[in-house]
Structure 1
Amino acid sequence: MSPPPPREPETMASEPLGEQPPVREPTHKWGIGAFLLVEGVLLLSAAFIGALLQPSTSDQRISVVTIVVGSILPVLIATGVALLITRLRGNGPRIDLRWSYSRQDFKVGLKFGLIGLVATTLAAMVWTKIVGKDNATSAFSALVDSRSLPVAAAVVMFLYAWLIGPVCEEIIFRGLLWGALERLQWGRWAVFGLSTAVFAVSHLEPLRTSLLIVIGIPIGLARLFTGRLGASVVAHQVNNFLPALTVLLISLGVMAP
């Protein structure tokens, strides 16, 4: 009588050949404190640079430097700190902030950006009727309102408002803040709602907070539905194009403020 065949190990029966356990992305060690630090850096650097560049005369050249550098540099510094935090306390921006820029991100971002552009335009029209034209002007538009800028400065402001600024703001709000709230194990809709509200309030324009919430909703939805930052960046850039173009034309004196 031949001996019975050897039994296979139980592990081979429980784990079919070729199947691998799901790979979990590594978690980061930074949280809400990182976002608060970045916001503090933004406010302090804006105050410091504003005081440093405060013109002592009515020289137009000094005024231009104050507008361009004072508006852009604090946001770039704060964004740099946010990216550095993901390197020192996490796994880098690609993993921690869900950074990507694929064709799908572009398509979804474009769709939500166009929806947001229409919604923002309609909301701005209603808001202007309620509070008046003077009170409806954004802080960014007020920087170049009723003054002409050199062509180079006007183009820099346009490119910043349209392309660069949205990248920076998305890294801070839909990247760093979003990731910090997820680390607290908040639900995805709660993260979306709070990050949208904080985005609006952080602009420090109390009269325009409700309008900024309308602006932030489609941008946040692009982040929510894709789970990636690239889509919200595109949506933000699409939404900012017409306002940035308007500021460019006003600053060059082509359009009346």
Structure 2
Amino acid sequence: MTTSQPRDPAPDTTFPDPEEPAATAFLPPPRRHRWGFGAFLLVEAVLLASAAFVSALVGDTGPGPLPIRVVLLGTMLPTMIAAGVAVLITFVRGNGPVADLRLEWRWADVRTGFRYGCVGLVFTTLGAYLWTRLVGDANATSAISALVEDRKMSVSAAIVMFVYLWLLGPICEEIIYRGLLWGAAEQLQWRSERWGRVAAFLLSTAVFAASHLEPLRTTLLLVIAVPIGLARLVTGRLPGSIVAHQVNNFLPALTILLGALGVASF
């Protein structure tokens, strides 16, 4: 008499998609973050409160133009603090900045951002020229340019201002507007994912232009913001818009640098 032996279990015939990396084939989709427009409003409140705190900390500087150290602190610290709070929110209420703000680094995004930045630089230069012809030089000048116009700085202060305006400032602003605000807009229930991205592009572009609190330059700021937002829209990630913003800021930052050092007058 023989006894039946237990049969071996059937082999697993389920295989991952060959086009997917083996390490991510069975990973669940990323979780939705738990922050929205309230997080953006909080960051904007932090930005304004930081500016007020810096102003109170400096105190009364007396008549005449603001000291350069005050210009540097008032320009850089509020935006940097606000961007830091935005990143912190993604850790506390989400999945971190890489997932929530789409801070994934890809060289293809750098190339795309550079192209959109160059196109934006052309349109910005043309727009600034036409704007100057229509409303005059004074109304076309940015608030930062007006603060340092015709004033010499030390080499170190001029370099710090240049690096901030060209590199660091765009990173901070993109984290706030095309990172946090963009993610809040996409979080809403739209008819399709495509409409969510378009709405995020339109909203972040308008808010970015208005948030500079320069009403006379809002139209010009919209011209500046559109190519930057398109880089974010096309790539789907934040580094594209960061690079486009940095490219767009390079010539204005260089102009301020050379003027502050007394190398050239513009």
- Structure 1 length-normalised TM: 0.90
Change (3 A) 1:143 1:228: same
> What amino acid maps onto 1:18 in structure 2?
P
Cα distance in 2 for residues equivalent to 1:49 and 1:178: 28
Q: Is contact 1:30–1:180 with CA below 8 Å preserved after alignment? A: yes
Q: Whole-Å Cα distance in 2 between the matches of residues 144 and 121 of structure 1?
A: 20
Distance change in 2, residues 1:210/1:56 (3 Å)? closer
Partner of 2:20: none
Q: Which moved more, 1:18-27 or 1:82-91?
A: 18-27
- Aligned counterparts of 1:177 and 1:130: Cα–Cα separation in 2: 32
Residue 47 (structure 1) shift: 1.4
The code of the aligned residue for 2:214 comes to: E
Q: Determine if the alignment matches structure 1 residue 127 to structure 2 residue 131.
A: yes
Name the amino acid aligned to 1:111: R
Q: Which residue of 2 aligns with 1:82?
A: 86
1:136 partnered with 2:140: yes
SS at match of 2:176: helix
Query: Counterpart of 1:168?
Result: 172
Deviations 1:138-177 (A, max 9, x none): 0111120121111111110000000000000000000000
2:253 aligned to which of 240, 244, 253 = 244
Q: Which residue number corresponds to residue 112 of structure 1?
A: 116
Residue 123 of structure 1, CA deviation:
0.5
Q: TM-score, normalised by structure 2?
A: 0.87
> Given the superposition, is the C-alpha separation of residues 152 and 18 from structure 1 closer, same or farther in structure 2, using an over 3 Å criterion?
closer
Deviations 1:30-83 (A, max 9, x none): 0000000000110111012022213445799x8121011111011111011001
CA RMSD of aligned residues (A): 2.0
1:185 alignment partner, SS class: coil
Q: Are 1:28 and 2:33 matched, yes or no?
A: yes
Partner of 1:3: none
Cross-structure match for 1:231: 240
Looking at structure 2, the residues matched to 252 and 183 of structure 1 have their Cα atoms a distance apart, in angstroms, of: 46
User: 2:157 matched to which residue of 1?
Assistant: 153
Mapped pair 1:194 → 2:203: yes
**Separation in structure 2 between the aligned mates of residue 167 and residue 17 of structure 1, nearest angstrom:** 41
Greater displacement, 62-71 / 101-110: 62-71
Q: Which residue of structure 2 aligns with residue 93 of structure 1? A: 97
Q: Does 1:39 align with 2:37?
A: no
Aligned length: 246
Q: Does the residue aligned with 1:243 lie in a helix, a strand or coil?
A: helix
**Take 2:26 and 2:255, find their aligned partners in 1: how far apart are those partners?**
53
1:175-190 superposed matches below 5 A: 175-186=179-190, 187=195, 188-190=197-199
Instruction: Name the CA distance, whole Å, in 2 between partners of 1:141 and 1:185.
Output: 41
CA offsets 1:104-128 (integer angstroms, 9 cap, x no match): 1111011100010001000110011
C-alpha distance in 2 between matches for 1:112 and 1:98: 18
CA contact (8 A) 2:186 2:199 kept: no
Name the amino acid aligned to 2:183.
Answer: G
Please give the alpha-carbon distance, in whole angstroms, between the structure 1 residues aligned to 2:189 and 2:262. Answer: 50
